[in-house]
Structure 1
Amino acid sequence: MSAELSFIIFLLLRMAIAAAFVVTASIIAERSGPVIGALVATLPISAGPSYVFLALDHDAAFIAQGALASLPINGATIVLALIYVVLAQRYGLTISCGAAVLVWIALASIIRQFDWSLTAGLAVNFVAFGICIPLLARYRHVKMPLVTRRWYDVPFRASLVATLVAIVVSTSGWVGPKISGIMALYPIVFTSMMIILHPRIGGPPTAAVLANAAWGLLGFGMAIAVLHVAVAQFGSTIGLSLALTTCIAWNLTLWWIGRRKLSLNRK
């Protein structure tokens, strides 16, 4: 087997694995409502496979450096969510999603210009989430209409994530860890949710899903910080495992707090 054919086969396999993650997460989210759906959406559905495959091709230092670039990008993602949520109350998909994505790209371009430390990346997240979470709170509670899944919904999301993984993995060797870390965190799941749900159920209900995702996204930022530290100390396998554990534990805690509040309100 030639080197080129081997590369294509393994790339397609990686894309298929990433797509399988998205299909599973999409089914869980659609059957569980906006709150659980938001928590599922903030799991590393797209970034996780990207980082796993990067770890197969590069050493721990590459992954640790990529995580430093990913950390401030997580702050840009919560800003994207805020822009979309606010605009979606009055405007259609093109303006709401388009403006949010353009702001994300602009912030990513600025972030790319700097060499980030762990402290600086955490500070960006602290400021971004400290501003955005209170502003998003008023948009979290919206009556959700019944969502009927169409045949192309899951394949569309899966193809987007698979394409992102393919781009990150195939270009990582020449763009380096910083750009790879930025591309790995493009909010492909949020974007696909906007594109699919907004025309079907309207802006405010779609915005409510993203608004509910704010706290989960904060935990995702913590997981990126854990990834950077753990990979440098223990290697890629342990580092990635600890980062995933951080995400899952954080979201389970949010779910438990939400259930407890609901139970207390019923009494």
Structure 2
Amino acid sequence: MSPDLVFILTLALRMAITAVFVVSASVITERSGPVIGALVATLPISAGPSYVFLALDHDATFIAEGALASLPINAATIGLALTYVVLAQRHNAFVSSGGAIAVWITLAALTRTVHWTLAGGLIANAVTFAICLPLLRRFRHVRMPLITRRWYDIPLRASLVATLVATVVTLSRWVGPSVSGVIALFPGVFTSMMLILHPRIGGKPTAAVIANGGWGLIGFGIAIAVLQAAAPRFGSAIALSLALATCIGWNLGLWWNGRRKLAR
């Protein structure tokens, strides 16, 4: 079997695995309401597979450098969330999601002009979240209407994130760890939710899901920092496992805290 055919078949398998993860998480999101849905959406169901497949092709140093580039991109994602949430109150899905993606691309491009350190990336996240989370607070509590799935929902979600994985894996051979780290954190899950949910249930309920994801993105940023610090010391496999455990533990903590407040 030729090397090119092996690469194509392997890439197709990776895309299929990622699609299964994303579709499963999206179904849970729709059935659980904006709070639980946001916690599921902020798990690494898009970036996680991208980094796993990068780790199969590259060494731990590559993964650490990619994670360092990803850290400020997490701050750009909360900027995307805030932009969408504000626009979605008055505008249609195309304007709201298009404006949010344009902001993300602009912020991602600006991060490329800075020589980042781990401390610098953490500070950028802390400052950005300190500004954005209070602004998102009043948009979080909206009644979630009943969702009727359409035939193209699953193919659209699967294709969006599977294409992202294919792009990251393919381009990583040429663009290096920094650009790979930026592409890996493109908010494919948030984008698919915007494009699918907004036309069906309206801007405000969809915005509530995105707004509730703000706190989950904090844990995601911490997980990226763990990945960056652990990869050179323990190798990619252990570092990725620690990052995943960080994300899951953080979101479980948010869920438990929310349940405790309701009990009161």
Same fold (TM over 0.5): yes
**Partner amino acid for 1:241?**
S
User: Residues of 1 paired with 2:142 and 2:32: CA distance?
Assistant: 15
User: Residues of 2 paired with 1:95 and 1:68: CA distance?
Assistant: 31
Q: Residue 259 of structure 1 aligns to a residue in which SS?
A: helix
Residue 251 (structure 1) aligned with residue 251 (structure 2)? yes
User: Residues of 2 paired with 1:61 and 1:111: CA distance?
Assistant: 20
Q: Residue 144 of structure 1 aligns to a residue in which SS?
A: coil
User: Residues of 1 paired with 2:229 and 2:237: CA distance?
Assistant: 13
CA offsets, 1:8-65, max 9 Å, x none? 0000011011111112111221221111110000000110000000000000000000
Moved over 3 A (4+): none
User: Residues of 2 paired with 1:160 and 1:224: CA distance?
Assistant: 22
CA offsets, 1:160-194, max 9 Å, x none? 11000000001101100000000000001001100
User: Residues of 2 paired with 1:222 and 1:188: CA distance?
Assistant: 19
Query: How many residues of Structure 1 are paired with residues of Structure 2 in the alignment?
Result: 264
Q: Kindly state the Cα deviation for residue 115 of structure 1 after the two structures are TM-superposed.
A: 2.2
User: Residues of 2 paired with 1:42 and 1:76: CA distance?
Assistant: 14
Q: How does 1:163-182 map to 2 (within 5 A)?
A: 163-182=163-182
Aligned to 1:108: 108
Residue 14 (structure 1) aligned with residue 5 (structure 2)? no
**Partner amino acid for 1:100?**
A
User: Residues of 2 paired with 1:120 and 1:10: CA distance?
Assistant: 36
Aligned to 2:93: 93
**Partner amino acid for 2:138?**
R
Q: Point out the more displaced range, 149-158 or 162-171.
A: 149-158
Aligned to 2:31: 31
**Partner amino acid for 1:63?**
I
Q: Kindly state the Cα deviation for residue 114 of structure 1 after the two structures are TM-superposed.
A: 2.2
Q: How does 1:35-50 map to 2 (within 5 A)?
A: 35-50=35-50
Q: Kindly state the Cα deviation for residue 155 of structure 1 after the two structures are TM-superposed.
A: 1.8
**Partner amino acid for 1:175?**
V
Q: Kindly state the Cα deviation for residue 233 of structure 1 after the two structures are TM-superposed.
A: 1.1
User: Residues of 2 paired with 1:113 and 1:36: CA distance?
Assistant: 36
Q: Kindly state the Cα deviation for residue 113 of structure 1 after the two structures are TM-superposed.
A: 2.1
- Please report the TM-score for the alignment, with normalisation by the length of structure 2: 0.99
Q: Residue 84 of structure 2 aligns to a residue in which SS?
A: helix
Aligned to 1:262: 262
Aligned to 1:84: 84
Aligned to 2:124: 124
**Partner amino acid for 1:179?**
V
Q: Which runs of 5+ in 2 are unaligned?
A: none
Aligned to 1:2: 2
